[in-house]
Amino acid sequence: MLSIQKLHAFYGKSHILHGVDLEVNPGEIVALLGRNGSGRSTTIKAVMGLVHGQGKVTWNNTDILGHKTYDIARRGLGYVPESRDVFPKLTVEQNLLLGQQPGRGGKKNGRWSLDDMYQMFPRLKERQHTEAGVLSGGEQQMLTLCRTLMGDPDLIMIDEPTEGLAPKIVELVGEYLKELKRRGLAVLLVEQKLTIALDISQRCYVMGHGEVVFQGTPEELKADSNVRREWLEV
């Protein structure tokens, strides 16, 4: 499905990624772990064409590295940025409808509908006619997650979905991720909270200094105290 090989990425002259290898299979949830600055967010931005990259990124047997971001999204790759990026002057429902893609989203052709979004997050139903810019941080996170789903991606890459959220909202996001798992959607999850990441993922990668320093199952990572101490624990 998604295969990343020898990926290098740059911000100007700064060399951030140093030959990242990673793959996500259909229906699989993969956690991408590491401390801040390790290269996790840069990896998924490079996949989406938001950061200049070199190497090979293959999506469903097509090399997409260097393609425009909108082209990558239309091929079935979804991206939820850490910054959320809602359209502040549009209502909740308008934001959700903008997430639809011709021939993909809207339930008639895809897996998700407005009703699905409102069922998962009733708070969005309550706020459907409210401008997105006045929502709380947690509500904006819900909205961004759901807007990406409305495009009916085959794989969704989510960057720090629980960052800065209250504990109750973190629980909601955790349930949301489990629902994606139940529906068989492939997910590449960048997440600081190990409890959530290891609970829902089948495999995990740990990054450090722009490289993958560990890959394996959550159970293998839990058993490897050296990796956790060196690359994850504060």
173-190 residue pLDDT tens: 888 888 888 888 999 999
Tell me the fold of 1-76+154-161+186-234. Rossmann fold (3.40.50)
Domain ranges of the chain: 1-76+154-161+186-234, 80-153
Q: What is the mean pLDDT of the chain?
A: 91
Q: At a CB cut-off of 8 Å and minimum separation 6, what does 64 contact? A: 47, 49, 57, 58, 71, 72, 75, 77
d(CA 13, CA 9): 10
* DSSP secondary structure letters along 43-69: HHHHHTTSSEEEEEEEETTEE-TT--H
- Of the candidates 88, 87, 97, 89, the residue with the CA atom closest to the CA atom of residue 117: 97
Whether 150 contacts 92, CB under 8 Å:
no
Q: Is the pLDDT of residue 103 over 70?
A: no
pLDDT tens per residue across span 116-173: 999 988 999 999 999 999 999 889 988 999 999 999 999 999 999 888 888 888 888 8
d(CA 114, CA 96): 7
Bridge partners of 4, per DSSP, are 22, 57
Token reading at 234: 């504060």
The sign of the CA dihedral 99, 101, 105, 110 is negative
Give the mean model confidence (pLDDT) for residues 212-233.
95
Phi–psi pair at 159, nearest 5 degrees: -105, 110
